[in-house]
Structure 1
Amino acid sequence: MPTLPWITPNPATPGTSAVVMASRFEVRSLADVPRFFLKSLAVWRQLRNAPGALGASLIARPLRRTFYTLSAWESREALNAFAAAEPHRSVLTGLRATMKESTFTFWQTPVERLPITWADAHARLDAERARAAAPTTDR
């Protein structure tokens, strides 16, 4: 299980909050894993220099065809600017056809709680997946 440990591209301002995003990506086949992993490394390099990035980690579970990302940002605007910039934007559109399932969850936390633990991120992703899978009722 390759894991890229938490990095801190930019220092956080004490006493502020961070926007945290956790994601889970599952590709359709084992044949898609190498491409997804290589593309994710390009995004990882982008993140290391991204304005507003306070921290990030990545877990790759290639035999399960699953990848997890965890990142903290000084604002939602900084996160959105990163997602809209290259190479992230092209990677996102280029890998869409290989995706089986994607889950995202967002929350805020005091910067003093960084780095976020993977246990916390997995629990939040599991809750989001359960919420999304739950049947809806019309009232």
Structure 2
Amino acid sequence: MPTLPWTVPNTPPAGAEIHVFASRFETRTLWGALKFLARTPGVWRQVSSAPGAYGATLKAEPLKRTFWTLSAWESPTALKAFARAGAHAPTSRGLAAEMKDVKLATWSVSAEELPLGWTEAARRLT
């Protein structure tokens, strides 16, 4: 799977402070990576219409068993609501045992800094 392009479900108001979330997941096995890939479309559909989502992208290296997400949200509350609902909730619970390493990062940017790029996310996840 190539990198999924930056998707904009909702346009943020000019000057808004945006909550950014980045993650890096490494699965224990190739089978775990395949499970991650199989569940990605459902979560991607969910984020594409999620209230409070201002943008998202996903980068996958399944043969290296590694996946990155980068997303922009109206607030931490909007992100939590997304994570606890729809396809994401059972996916994250179902894949938890498959994870070897997980790194998460959050920070804030202004709406004018969207779309986000991978450089800052990679720096924050190392």
| TM-score between both structures, scaled by the size of structure 1 | 0.88
Q: 2:86, 2:7 → 1: CA distance?
A: 20
Rg bigger for which structure? 1
Q: 1:75, 1:32 → 2: CA distance?
A: 30
Q: How big is the shift at 1:40?
A: 2.0
Aligned-partner SS, 2:115: coil
Runs of 4+ in 1 over 2 A off after TM superposition: none
| TM-score between both structures, scaled by the size of structure 2 | 0.97
Aligned-partner SS, 1:42: helix
For these two proteins, the number of residue pairs brought into alignment is: 126
Unaligned ranges ≥5, structure 1:
127-139
Q: Which residue number corresponds to residue 7 of structure 1? A: 7
Q: Residue deviations 1:86-137, cap 9 Å, x none?
A: 21111111111111111000000001001111011101111xxxxxxxxxxx
Q: 2:31, 2:54 → 1: CA distance?
A: 33
Question: Percent same amino acid at aligned positions?
Answer: 49
Unaligned ranges ≥5, structure 2:
none
> Is the aligned partner of 1:102 residue 2:102?
yes
Q: Which residue number corresponds to residue 93 of structure 1? A: 93
Q: 2:2, 2:34 → 1: CA distance?
A: 13
Give the residue type in structure 2 aligned to 1:120. Answer: E
Q: 1:71, 1:85 → 2: CA distance?
A: 16
